[in-house]
Structure 1
Amino acid sequence: MAKTYYAEGRQVAYFIRGLCILIGLAIYFNMSRLHWGFFIGILFGSIVAGEILGSMWTRRRRLTAQQAKKKSNAKSKILPDKSTKSKQLSDQELVHADVDTLSGSDFERLMELYFIYKGYSVTRIGGAGDHEVDLILKGKEGYKIAVQCKRWKRDVGNDIVLRLKAGKQVHGCYDAWIVTTSNFTRSAKEAAERLNIKLINGISLHDKLSNWRKSVSATEVKPKVSRSR
């Protein structure tokens, strides 16, 4: 950045120098009685004026950039860090929260609460190496269901379906479900049908959550969750 300002200053210096020389020469040749020393003075004065004004330009540009940087740093210190100061929603708040405003992890927690209410024992997997499995449900019958939760705006593709098929086997699950706030691509639906994977799209999810919220009050949500390590 300093080199750029210096280059700008040099261009200003050359411009001022040339302009002064042209003006001086115009005066010298239009006034025949001037001494030849005036011509030397024009050259010397033009060089000095160009250097002074070019240096002033460079110094002013650097000063302006420094002030702008200080203001930017001061503003960043004043603004709160949302990532560190945002508190985690309680279970009661989560039940009645707008799904579209939730983070991916909060959406997983919401589905965790929902399936617990439905009578499943829930283990949250998530994290690295989850093989596309966020939750593992265990019903009264004893068999396990691998669930992938996607709070997405774009449609879920068949790559997620195929990876969940592998995750289902890795975690020893009998069934596999994908729950999303959006929808599924045509290829995802075809793959899920062949692999016997249940798909729950945004419309179906909205209906399920609406019915759940009507039938349960926030104070009744007291889940007992087991978590994998």
Structure 2
Amino acid sequence: MSYPKIQNTFHLFACFLLVLATSCLAGCVTNKADLSVSVTEFEPMPTEAFSKVLIIGLGENMALAGQFESTMVEQLTTFGIETYSIRKLLNKDDEVTKDNAKKVVLELGIDGILVSRLLAKKVDTQTHQTRSEIEVIPDKEEQFSDVFPLGFKRTETKTQSVTLATVVLETKVFSGTTGDKLLRLESLVENQTAPEGVFKESAALIANKLKALGLL
């Protein structure tokens, strides 16, 4: 198993989520998710499905990577798989390194390892305004009815902002027994406007693909 000390691009994911949180302004957001996942590298699969899986999120932002790991753990647990987050097993200030990852794999008897990182992201915010006019007719008994004998028009303006996001995650799958890389996945989630939606949809895509490949 060979992957370097984890200091990659989950800090970009933090920026991405911050943009999402601040760009959803007034109005309702109604977006449909366009989801996909592809296998770009494929090696011979093990003869048995994983029974214990370790999740590793790459990046300098430990809190964000830990949140992603927790979401993956929750998703894989629904398939009846014993799943662990690397950051939940380490001390608070410990960094995720090759050596302590190996230690966890050996101590727990891990047979599958998922290593994920942000591969690409794009955020577009579109703002739309709608204007409406209403005619107000004053009552004849009003004091100023002679000033507005024909009534007057009032204009209302409503603003609606829609955030369209595209997130691509790379997930490498390793054998905990041999350390060999088994496959590489790219999962794409589009039109998500909430951070929790990005995590949940990405985790579901990855888990469902692994299930379809017979690894879960």
Q: TM-score, structure 2 length as denominator? A: 0.25
Higher helix share: 1
Higher strand share: 2
